[in-house]
Structure 1
């Protein structure tokens, strides 16, 4: 049996070997691209059908397909910031703009939080004369605090 981490690495290797895109995998799984990518990297549970669809497209061993269905690992408990520049930038954005986002959510919606469970996420590239832009949309349900 493989771990979720080993299964994720097997997915990444097979994806390159077979020249398969995340978009194509998501389509085969019947899921949005960001969700499917996160799931195949170990952040969400896959149903048997989703794991089989990805496994078939990637030519994964049955043990890897089975490992994709294990409970997810959603956090790095180290408490440190990632060294990868792309991931670090998201931490940087939240450190810089997090308090402002919180204030705006409270002002516009009331006392509560944005759900990360009832949540949608999209990433796209937008051409721009000054250099292409990366647009990330976080779309979470508002959850008012219950007192």
Structure 2
């Protein structure tokens, strides 16, 4: 089973069962954000977590096996047209250099890891309109001189 086939099977089963990513993550025992990324094909799971995920969705060992395979992290390099995803491109376009300047000022010359990394998405209720809170938490990796 390919990662694309796995993704389709998972999304169809999740929809059929009316499950949320949070509920599925609770059944697996990992964060909803990481589980979603793995189910969409951009990360892999341990065998135990993959089996728990497939079982919770009523899917077979072929899906569990595909979940454990290392991903090829590629995506369409064109700017997305989905409004929500596009806004993240817009945020990086407008604030990317600001983030770079502030990170370099506070940490020095380096990058934020996307490997030693976690992400949290939460809802902040507000009478003027609910807020989306996205926290990206990556280890700082300084550039080395040699």
TM-score bin (small chain): over 0.9
Q: Secondary structure at the match of 2:68?
A: coil
Q: Deviations over 1:29-61 (max 9, x none)?
A: 221111111111111111211111011110113
Q: When the two structures are superposed, what TM-score results if normalisation uses the length of structure 1?
A: 0.93
Aligned residue pair count: 145
Q: Distance in 2 between matches of 1:70 and 1:126?
A: 35
Range moving further from structure 2, 29-38 or 134-143:
29-38
Q: Distance in 1 between matches of 2:80 and 2:60?
A: 31
- Listed as ranges, the gaps of 5+ residues in structure 2 are none
Q: When the two structures are superposed, what TM-score results if normalisation uses the length of structure 2?
A: 0.94
Moved over 2 A (4+): none
Residues 122-137 of structure 1 correspond to what in structure 2 (within 5 A)? Answer: 122-137=120-135
1:80 Cα offset (Å):
0.6
Residues 12-23 of structure 1 correspond to what in structure 2 (within 5 A)? Answer: 12-23=11-22
Q: Secondary structure at the match of 1:104?
A: helix
- Listed as ranges, the gaps of 5+ residues in structure 1 are none
Q: Distance in 2 between matches of 1:74 and 1:101?
A: 24
1:69 Cα offset (Å):
1.8
Range moving further from structure 2, 8-17 or 66-75:
66-75
Q: Distance in 2 between matches of 1:129 and 1:7?
A: 40
